[in-house]
Structure 1
Amino acid sequence: MTDTPRTADGRYRATVRTFTPRWRMSPRVEELMERLLPRYAVPSGPLDPTAVFGRDLPVVLEVGSGYGEAAVAYAREHPEHGIIAAEVHVPGVATLMEKAEREGLDNLRTFRGDALEYLVECVGRGQLEAVHLFFPDPWPKARHAKRRFVQQDTLDLVLERLRPGGHLLVATDHAAYAEHVREQLAQHPRVAVVEGERPAWRPSAGFEDKGRAAGRAIHEFRVTERG
């Protein structure tokens, strides 16, 4: 793999946690994980689309897939692509796999862990069709801003992993996070940004519906590398 950008204090970004690990394991979740993870987990080691999906598909990575609504919808609407849903939340992983099994989706897999670690350790240059970041943890306190996924070095990392013409999609209902994203994108010399376009395939279930119900606006960003 290529050298990975570091933070100002010399640490790899993947060592700065961008999620909060909180959950309880129910018997149902334990059963789903035991039964379905061998089928849906990505193999360890460098990303090989044929090894992951059984065929050479363009690959999309979703960062923090929650309970899988968006990842499942994308897999359903884009059978010509393979999607890897990275998620640390075990009940979310279990629910995503159950939905994939129910719908018979063979182009969806999961990485049970930190998406940054997967990007750093497993994904090579130009291997991704797209990266999706939908309703990430906003880390609203100023002292936690470094934990927000969108930073200069992670933008470098994502751009490196995207194929020419690939894109990053970001959505949030948190105004402060949206402003943080705008600031980071404005500072980055290599990105082009379109704001306000909502992908038609993405369901509104989950954080989007909750945000709208609370009167919050949904902020959408489509990011590509400047030509």
Structure 2
Amino acid sequence: MTGPAAPATEPARVRTYNARRGRLSPLTQSRLDELVPRHGIPDGPLEPEVAFGRRAPVVLDIGCGHGAAAIGYAVAHPGHDVLAVDVHSPGVARMLAAADARGVHNLWAHIGDAVALLDQRIASRSLHAVHLFFPDPWPKTRHLKRRFISEHTLDLIADRLAPDGELLVATDHASYATHALDELRAHPAFEVAEVSRPEWRPRDGFEAKGLAAGRAVTDLRAVLR
């Protein structure tokens, strides 16, 4: 396996997520202490055969939250390894506890910044798919630059995807859907289309809240040209 590509040049690092601070509850801490050693990834460049114990397609779930979609995909695709990443420790702890209760063995976790993970630790052409479901829409005009879908992140994803890989995006915010479509259409590496929601993804979390509020969900699939 080749090592990660050289970090892309980034003029100014923009945080694409809301910082969450606060003390962890005893339950969250106990879940992290027990489950992260079993489902975390080693430090340094990601080597799937070492981290996951086998050679299999790797799917990166960015901003996994409580992990309903990551677990749904892992259950539906036992021959794949799912690496779910989020900055929110309680959500990751809850996801790992739910996966453990269901006997899911192909779900892995990283607590941290997905951009840094992509930039510094994931090798070129090593990902089968990238999932970005219900990212922070950053709806205020002054925050638009914080949206995850951008030229820089798309450059990273395009490099890390295998030739037959795909990027799946879902959002319940119309402005973010338009933004994502515009960015993907403008990027030379991708062809993008609106698609039906995947059957394996539960209607849970942000999707359920968006539907309850009367918002439509847009699903996009982008493949390398």
Q: TM-score, normalised by structure 1?
A: 0.94
Which residue matches 1:36? 35
The answer to whether the Cα contact below 8 Å between 2:181 and 2:192 also exists between their aligned partners in 1 is no
Cross-structure match for 2:6 = 3
> Structure 1 residue aligned with 2:15, among 7, 14, 17?
17
Q: Map Cα deviations across residues 103-134 of structure 1 (whole Å, 9 max, x no partner).
A: 11111100110111110111011000000000
Instruction: Please report the RMSD computed on the Cα atoms of aligned residues, expressed in angstroms.
Output: 1.2
Once the two structures are superposed, residues 125-146 of structure 1 have per-residue CA deviations (whole angstroms, 9 ceiling, x without a partner) of 1000000000001111111111
Query: What's the offset of the Cα at 1:23?
Result: 4.9
TM-score (structure 2 length as normaliser): 0.95
Question: Given that residues 192 and 223 in structure 2 are in contact (C-alpha distance below 8 angstroms), is that contact kept between their aligned partners in structure 1?
Answer: yes
Aligned counterparts of 2:191 and 2:7: Cα–Cα separation in 1: 22
The one-letter amino acid paired with 1:132 is: H
Aligned position for 1:85: 84
Distance 2:71 2:185 in 1: 32
Conserved in 2, the CA contact under 8 Å of 1:53 and 1:106? no
- Report what 2:220 is aligned to: 221
Task: State the secondary structure of the residue aligned to 2:55.
Answer: coil
Where does 1:133-212 land on structure 2 (aligned, <5 Å)?
Answer: 133-212=132-211
CA deviation string 1:65-98 (max 9, x = no partner): 0001001111111000000000110110100110
* DSSP-derived class of the 1:56 partner: coil
Q: How many residues align?
A: 221
Letter in 2 for 1:97: L
Corresponding residue SS for 1:61: strand
Name the aligned partner's letter for residue 93 of structure 1: V
% identical aligned pairs: 48
Cα contact 2:7–2:120 (8 A) shared by 1: no
Single out whichever of 50-59 and 17-26 deviates more from structure 2.
17-26
Unmatched 5+ stretches in structure 2? none
CA distance in 2, matches of 1:23, 1:102: 27
**AA paired with 1:18?**
T
Aligned mates of 2:96, 2:194 — CA distance in 1? 31
Secondary structure, in 3 states, of the residue corresponding to 1:215?
coil
Number of the residue aligned with 1:119 = 118
Partner amino acid for 2:16? T
Give unmatched runs, 5+ long, in structure 1.
Answer: none
Contact 1:197 1:222 in 2 (8 A): no
* Stretch moving more, 75-84 or 176-185: 176-185
How much does 1:50 deviate? 1.3
Distance 1:5 1:67 in 2: 30
